Structure 1
Amino acid sequence: MVQDKTLLSRLFDGVNYTLLTLVALVTVLPFLHVIAGSFTTVQELAQKQFVLFPTVFTLDAYRYVLSTNVIFKALGVSVGVTLFGTLFSMFLTCLMAYGLARKDLVGRNGIMFAVVFTMLFSGGMIPTFLVVKQMGLIDSFAALIIPSAINAFNLIIMRNFFQNLPDGIEESAKIDGCSDWGILFKIVIPLSMPAIATISLFYAVTYWNTYLQAILYLNDTAKWPVQIILRQIVILASGLAADTSGFDDGFVQPPEQTVKMAVIVIATLPILLVYPFLQKHFAKGALLGSIKG
């Protein structure tokens, strides 16, 4: 009987590993194709429908994309917006989530209803633009950060995580004379690093992929993030009209297909490099923050 269970267990594990391997291949292979396609020639990419190992290795697509200094300026803008935006959003999210997690907060149910309401209904593009304009944020980097500083979904996860912390920790800290600010920054936040790492990654991806806000609020091409510049390069590669006012005179029109893949790699790789440092906290933070409503 024990041997039968062992055999069934091994068979079950084998089926699981096979299915998970197939799912991983389905997920990874398209991205590997994009990476390989960015390093291959236009002729090979046109002849083969699917490329994983380039026959002729070339950096032409990346030379075209990086042939203007504007791309490096845009990368700097995106890195700055992502860094400061994530810190600013996490600061506000932790403050609000900690307050809403306190059972003695008067009217917290009404505030939570208002937060959840924003997940279902929003003011819309035009009212938001008018608010940003009245605040004097047009053509400033703050327009990319302040309107989306707090995400309702991220706030709820942080609030739920704070609620799961033992009440005795705060009570002990108060007995020792710790203030509310001290409890938050010296006790609660250090104990909440898995959730903070997870939400930080969510915010970082959002700010890195900033596109529509930049189109709406930024008129100065020197302040464009990398997503806008890459879009302009793809449009040029497609032979369509694009705003080239921010590009150098030496910028050459790139081949269409290979440059599209190079653009995907450049836009995705920086944020992918951040994930391994947060991976050990990611699953734990997301699960713990979703246990208690």
Structure 2
Amino acid sequence: MTAAQLLGHDLVKSFDGHAALAGVDLALQGGLVAVLGPNGAGKTTLLRCLATVVRPDTGSLLIDGLNPAHESDRIEIRRRLGYQPQQVQFAGGARVFDVLDYLAVLKGFDDDRRRRHWVFHVLDLVGLRDRVADEVRDLSGGMRQRLGLAQALLGQPSLLLLDEPAAGVDPDERFRMRDLIAARRAEATVVLSTHLTDEAAVCDKILVLDQGRIRFVGSPSALAAIAAGRTWVQSNLPADDVRASWRQADGRYRCLGTSIAPPTAEKVAPTLEDGYLTLLTPAAP
């Protein structure tokens, strides 16, 4: 299977006069890509456009050369993608198996044996095999998130779109889901949205989205490098002109400066979070 190719140019989408996307360009194929940004940055809107749930107001979008504005192309795109919305809605009284079986039918699984195989396969992947006969309303919030991931994995999609996939999931299951998602990078284009830098750190590429615009595209190390020379630790309370600071467990303050570190400071290597904060946090006046 070939990973899907995404090409977007000047994508704009507004709601009630507010631009959720304000001219987004992207070119992606293969690997694990994080769309990183604060709440309200436009991450969900971007993924909904890529999933053909909403149509951009202006701009062009091609997925494997197919235009989702055309109905026949849109149908074909949906056969190739798996999409996990931020809040997955399932009928509460439906059983786990029946939910996935129905969604597999919608994805074109006509053969009963093949469809059943895929339903149990994705349940095994997300650790819900023992819940196959349970009603959805009896699942915890984290289990429903895992069920949402399971339905997105049906059919081995070449494009996997995941909107905050680990929200509400227990730490142990969160790491398991992270490994499961990362394993798909070899066979698909995987795009996940997050506001957490630790989730973005394991990705091949990061797109930083802020106020509907892409502010950065590159590797995790390249994002961290934005803060190179600007991070240090000190014992006394930082001055007001640092960009950000916080007290560590050892009582010292880690500082992120607006310029290079003072000569007397103990310099430390920047993290991805340092680079992200440098990119998005305005300097103190």
Specify which structure has the higher proportion of helix: 1
TM-score range, shorter chain: under 0.3
TM-score w.r.t. length of structure 1: 0.25
Which has the higher relative contact order, 1 or 2, with Cα contacts under 8 A spaced 6 or more apart?
Answer: 1
Larger radius of gyration: 1
Specify which structure has the higher proportion of strand: 2
